[in-house]
Amino acid sequence: MGRHIEKDTVEEELDPRTTLEIEAFLAWLDVQRGLSPTTQIAYGTDLRQLALFLAQRGASLARPAEVSKKHIQAWLARLYALGEAKSSMARKLAAARTFFRYQQRMGRTENNVAAQVRNPKQEQRHPRVLNVDQAFAVLDTPDALAVSGSPRIPPATGDALAARDHALAELLYGSGLRISEALGLDVTDLRLEEGVARVFGKGARERMSPLSDTSVTALRAWLEQRGTLAPEHEKALFVGARGGRLDRREAMRRIERLCHNAGVEPVSPHALRHSFATHLLDAGADLRSVQELLGHQRLTTTQRYTRVSLERLMHLYDEAHPRAQKK
């Protein structure tokens, strides 16, 4: 039932008991929390790093009651000294908190020492967005290299890749999906006649996401070509050149290529989602509706887009309004 979680070479340096403790936690995480495989892999790596740090100080994750708040603080201080990004440190701390919460439930410790440590203060970074013209250029400019083919790509395969990439980009911008949500879609999740898709977001939360007319058209075009790449038994909506589910790294590379073809500075797939939200707010959509469309659990997560939208509005005002012109 559980998904396979990759191991890393750090595990070879840990004592067997600690390794088993981490594996038991990851198995519990897979069943109970519904986190994505990517997050589970990251948590496993983070805990192995923490375990090595503790081992150097005579402590062990296999004896969670002996780990103190000072151990966790010292670990974070070490990460900071090594130049770890604060966002990465926050994720590692989240992994430790979840691990000790699990240990509390198992009755192996009374305290969640990681929960007693504050998150590293994050710099407020506004999400990067494309303007409407740039977004349309990315979606409307065909991938000439894929369509025309190359000595290594047969024309039929090139056509299929181009149709796939266009459909993926339309979903990211037209429906505001996370890249993990888009890549996790199966063909059976689409209801094109109704103009919706069943999407599984963070924490395996399910929602119905509306599809734009252009997204439906692009998806139909891709489904007609999909058989060129996908074997008959494959459930994934988006597949790679070898027929399996398209992976995140290749999807990011393909979106960057679409940007390059359109003469737009390359952006991540997530920037198309950011653009979706910002353009909706620019057009007067209410915050609660945007929250639902994005699949955010908390309204505060959505509110950061209002800041981006306001900054864009003020920039437009400064550029266009006669009373705002600088002399």
pLDDT(151) > 70: no
pLDDT at residue 56, rounded to an integer = 92
84 with 175, same domain: the answer is no
Q: Is residue 123 part of a domain?
A: no
- Model pLDDT, residue 326: 47
> Mind telling me the catalytic residues?
178, 202, 270, 273, 296, 305
Residue 325 lies inside a defined structural domain of this protein: no
Whether residue 49 lies inside any domain: the answer is yes
Domain boundary, last residue among 116, 150, 179: 116
Considering the domain architecture, whether residues 94 and 144 belong to the same structural domain is answered as no
Number of domains in the chain: 2
Q: Please tell me whether residues 201 and 269 are part of one structural domain.
A: yes
Is residue 196 predicted with pLDDT exceeding 70?
A: yes
Q: Say whether pLDDT at 283 is over 60.
A: yes
Mean pLDDT of 279-299: 75
Q: Is residue 125 part of a domain?
A: no
Judge contact between 193 and 213, C-beta under 8 A.
no
Whether 138 and 274 map to the same domain: the answer is: yes
Same domain, 152 and 61: no
pLDDT at position 225 is: 92
| CATH number, residue 197 | 1.10.443.10
Of 93-97, 127-131, 226-230, the range with the lowest mean pLDDT is: 127-131
Domain assignment present for residue 222? The answer is: yes
C-beta separation of 192 from 216 below 8 A: yes
Note the pLDDT tens digit of each residue in 108-130.
999 999 999 988 876 556 567 88
Residue 172 and residue 68 share a domain? no
Q: Which amino acid is at 298?
A: R
Q: Is residue 127 part of a domain?
A: no
User: Are 143 and 261 found together in one domain?
Assistant: yes
CATH assignment of the domain containing 80: 1.10.150.130
Contact partners, residue 255, CB within 8 Å, separation at least 6 = 165, 168, 169, 172, 266, 267, 268, 269, 272
Question: Which residue range forms the structural domain that includes residue 73?
Answer: 9-116
Does a structural domain hold residue 4? no
- The answer to whether residue 80 scores a pLDDT higher than 80 is yes
The answer as to whether 326 is a domain residue is no
State which of 86, 116, 146 marks the end of a domain: 116
pLDDT band at 12 (very low <50, low <70, confident <90, very high): very low
* Mean pLDDT (whole number) for 249-278: 89
Q: What is the dihedral of CA 164, 165, 168, 172, to 10 degrees?
A: -170
- Please classify residue 53 by burial: count the beta carbons closer than 10 Å to its beta carbon, then call 0-12 exposed, 13-18 middle and 19+ buried: middle
Q: Are residues 112 and 189 in the same domain?
A: no
CA dihedral (145, 152, 240, 167) in degrees, to 10, reads 20
List the one residue out of 58, 53, 91, 45 whose CA is nearest residue 72: 53
**Partner residues linked to 245 by β-bridges:** 239
Q: Between 308 and 132, name the one with better pLDDT.
A: 132
Strands 206-210 and 190-191: unpaired
Q: Any residues with CB less than 8 A from the CB of 301 and at least 6 apart, and which?
A: 291, 294
Give the model's confidence band at 5: pLDDT under 50 very low, under 70 low, under 90 confident, else very high: very low
Largest interatomic CA distance in the chain: 72
Q: What pLDDT is attached to residue 277?
A: 85
Strand partners, 199: 207
The confidence score (pLDDT) of residue 323 equals 47
Same domain, 136 and 285: yes
Q: Are residues 57 and 141 in the same domain?
A: no
Same domain, 105 and 145: no
107 with 164, same domain?
A: no
Picking from 56, 88, 116, the residue at the C-terminal end of a domain is 116
